[in-house]
Amino acid sequence: MAVSTPESVVEPGPLAKYDTGEAMCPYRLVLEHLTSRWGVLVLIELLERPYRFSELRRAIGRVSEKMLTQTLQTLERDGLVHRDAKPVIPPRVDYSLTDLGREAAQQVRALAVWTERRMDAVQQARDAYDAAKRQR
Amino acid sequence: MAVSTPESVVEPGPLAKYDTGEAMCPYRLVLEHLTSRWGVLVLIELLERPYRFSELRRAIGRVSEKMLTQTLQTLERDGLVHRDAKPVIPPRVDYSLTDLGREAAQQVRALAVWTERRMDAVQQARDAYDAAKRQR
């Protein structure tokens, strides 16, 4: 899997007050789309290249046709994924990231990479936590 | 809310193959903890400073005592949050980020900030999507 540095880095800035006061404010819903089980994987795959539906389903694995369709529709509606239906027979539909989607995918990927890299530390912490619990 | 630039940036690198092939590999579970509704908010709040339980609950808002307790326990077991129970009367418990938790929180916050900043673009995309749908 080729890796690139994010092209556009969003400067950290203050989050509006409602980010903590109201869990269901609009941006929370988008965050849930980005970090949903299949959303994460779709975004990371599409960072590499455009995919046809069946290819994408194979690449992700274990996702039902229905769930992948729903995930792609949600991301398309949010302006993150572009759906390109070619008027050919048999029908061909390609999915790719929009510019906005590429930015989102880079952020999501950074979080996923961090998590994977730190799994050993997490596992050590869990072992210590569970051992301490058993001693009580 | 004060904002700082991440102190340690994890370089992007290839994700292991199982990241897409197996949705429930160990790092996916940790990613779900980080991006859970309350996980996101707890991490972002604790980036600012340590909190006592009741303070944290007020700061986050709308979270039940039970859900906040569960969220904190999960993050503590993952080695991201440190729980400091002071042997005083009445009991006093402080929560803070570990070094590992600070790294995680910075990644999560970057994603949350990005999402909030781009909400206008997302909303425009949704309006266009819904309008196109109505015309079909």
What ipTM was assigned to the predicted interfaces of this complex? 0.78
Inter-chain contact A125–B78, Cβ cutoff 8 Å?
Answer: yes
* A30-71 pLDDT per residue, tens: 988 998 889 999 999 999 999 999 999 999 988 999 999 999
Measured between CA atoms, how close is A71 to chain B, in angstroms?
14
Helix, strand or coil, per DSSP, at residue A94? strand
Residues on chain B touching A41 (C-beta within 8 angstroms) = 19-20, 23
Whether the per-residue pLDDT at A105 is higher than 60: the answer is: yes
pLDDT at A24: 54
Inter-chain contact B14–A22, Cβ cutoff 8 Å?
Answer: no
Lowest mean pLDDT among A22-26, A38-42, B73-77, B123-127: A22-26
- Determine which of B8, B17, B19 to mutate to test the interface with A (most A C-beta atoms within 10 Å): B19
Q: A37 or A81, which is more confident?
A: A81
Contact call for residues B109 and B47 (beta carbons, < 8 A): yes
DSSP states of A13-73: -PPPTHHHH-TTSHHHHHHHHHHSHHHHHHHHHHHH--EEHHHHHHHH-S--HHHHHHHHH
Domains, chain A, with CATH or none:
19-135 (1.10.10.10)
Inter-chain contact B122–A78, Cβ cutoff 8 Å?
Answer: yes
Contact call for residues B114 and B121 (beta carbons, < 8 A): no
Q: Give the type of residue at A1.
A: M
Please give the average per-residue pLDDT across B119-130, as a whole number. 96
What secondary structure letter does DSSP report for A115? H
Residues on chain A touching B28 (C-beta within 8 angstroms) = 37
Contact call for residues B81 and B97 (beta carbons, < 8 A): yes
Measured between CA atoms, how close is A40 to chain B, in angstroms?
9
What secondary structure letter does DSSP report for A109? H
Q: A100 or B86, which is more confident?
A: A100
Please give the average per-residue pLDDT across B72-99, as a whole number. 95
Instruction: Give the separation between CA B74 and CA B33, rounded to whole angstroms.
Output: 7
Choose among B4, B31, B61: nearest Cβ to A22.
B61
Residue A48 structure tokens:
């590499």
Choose among B10, B22, B122: nearest Cβ to A117.
B10
pLDDT at B2: 40
Sequence-distant (6+) residues with CB within 8 A of B126 are: A77, A78, A79
Buried b (16+ CB within 10 A) or exposed e, A29-38: ebbbbbbbbb
Chain B residue closest in CA terms to A126: B77
Share of chain B above pLDDT 70, in %: 82
Choose among A6, A14, A123: nearest Cβ to B3.
A14
- Of A4, A1, A78, which Cα lies nearest the Cα of A41? A1
Inter-chain contact A125–B5, Cβ cutoff 8 Å?
Answer: no
DSSP states of B63-85: --HHHHHHHHHHHHHTTSEEEEE
Helix, strand or coil, per DSSP, at residue B14? coil
Inter-chain contact B13–A117, Cβ cutoff 8 Å?
Answer: yes
**Is the peptide bond between B87 and the residue preceding it cis, with omega within 30 degrees of 0?**
no
Mean confidence (pLDDT) of chain B: 85
Give B8's pLDDT tier (boundaries 50, 70, 90).
very low
Q: A10 or B67, which is more confident?
A: B67
* B48-84 pLDDT per residue, tens: 999 999 999 999 988 999 999 999 999 999 999 999 9
